[in-house]
Structure 1
Amino acid sequence: MSFNVTETAVGNVIEVQLSGKLTKEAYHEFVPFTEEKIKEHGKIRLLVVLHDFHGWDAGAMWEDIKFDLHHFRDIERLAIVGESRWEKGMASFCRPFTTANVKYFEKEQLNEARQWITSED
């Protein structure tokens, strides 16, 4: 599992790079960082870049559900950049769990995803 959380030049945007299988331990890094940004900015925007991603283990799935329920209204935009058909399906699957504007991008569209996540339109 490779997991990297990066604050961008735009303060309310967080970029998350994921590969492998997401574990519960990754949430111990992601959640405090993200909650600090929510306190600081009110609403945040997430750019999630998936590379060779294999989903969640059971512990990570539970942490994800808790996070989604707790922060249902705190995420303004969610961009998912992926490489496969099921990752594209994740964008649709996420919609009922957030009020965020959710959009999927292919890996070749990473720059477009970065522009969209920061745009004001």
Structure 2
Amino acid sequence: MTKSNFTILDGFPADVVAIEAHGEITRADYEQTLIPLIEARIKAEGKIKLFYLIARDFAGYTVSAMWDDTRLGLSHLRDFARVALVTDVGWIRNGARMFAPLIPAPVHVFALSERHQAEEWVKAPGNEPPHEPGVDVTHKLQTMEDFQSEEP
């Protein structure tokens, strides 16, 4: 068995899957670590919360890992109560904000400097979203009205 680029983080409640990604994430990382962990936790807890920290030494995903991530997310779409993504990687932050409205649970993106706030948010009691699914209330999607200028 090879060493995983996912580190399972301790100190979280049973309903929280907490992981940290290092280096290049591969299909093996998903198949040997993340998928079994998430599926076992869902079986034991029902809805789960995800704390996903992208470390400073993160080098990206292989194509097969991205596919596994997509399959995992789609097959367990309704099994997440909330998702805290902690990263300073711009394309991941932007992608999470873009796809968050499609996820039926609150998704909140935090900077690495906000790790403590992310941990507190994901550890908060309750397995049901406190508001409508999708982008957390701190992230507002712009509407056409936001682009209209006032008449003089």
TM-score by length of 2: 0.72
Find the counterpart in structure 1 of residue 13 from structure 2.
10
CA-CA distance at 1:74 after TM superposition:
0.4
2:28 to 25, 28, 36: 25
Of all paired residues, the percent bearing the same amino acid is: 29
Question: C-alpha separation between the residues in 1 aligned to 2:30 and 2:5?
Answer: 12
Question: Taking structure 1 as reference, are residues 83 and 9 closer, same or farther at Cα in structure 2, changes over 3 Å only?
Answer: closer
1:26-63, CA deviations, whole angstroms, 9 ceiling, x for partnerless residues?
A: 11211111101001111000111112323321111111
The aligned runs of 1:87-98 (5 Å cut-off) are 87-98=92-103
Structure 1 position 99 matched with structure 2 position 99: no
Extract unaligned runs of 5+ from structure 2: 131-152
- 8 Å Cα contact 2:16/2:123 also seen in 1: yes
Q: Shift of residue 20 of structure 1? A: 2.0
How many residues get paired? 121
Between structure 1 and structure 2, the one with the greater Rg is: 2
Alpha-carbon RMSD: 1.8
C-alpha distance in 2, partners of 1:53/1:87? 11
- State which of 45, 61, 74 in structure 2 corresponds to 1:69: 74
Q: Which runs of 5+ in 1 are unaligned?
A: none
Scaled by the length of structure 1, what TM-score is found?
0.89
Q: Is the 8 A contact 2:50 2:82 kept in 1?
A: yes
Contact 2:30–2:68, Cα closer than 8 Å, also in 1? yes
For residues 8 and 100 of structure 1, the distance between their equivalents in structure 2, rounded to whole angstroms, comes to 23
- Range with greater deviation from structure 2 (76-85 or 106-115): 76-85
SS of alignment partner, residue 53 of structure 1: strand
SS for the counterpart of 2:78 is: coil
Q: Is the 8 A contact 1:82 1:88 kept in 2?
A: yes
Question: Which structure dedicates a bigger proportion of its chain to strand?
Answer: 1
Partners of 1:54 and 1:100 lie apart in 2 by 27
Which stretch of the first structure deviates more once superposed, 2-11 or 39-48?
Answer: 2-11
Query: Could you tell me how far apart the structure 2 residues matched to 1:7 and 1:101 are?
Result: 23
Aligned counterpart, 2:48: 44
Q: Structure 1 residues 90-99 or 41-50, which shifts more?
A: 90-99
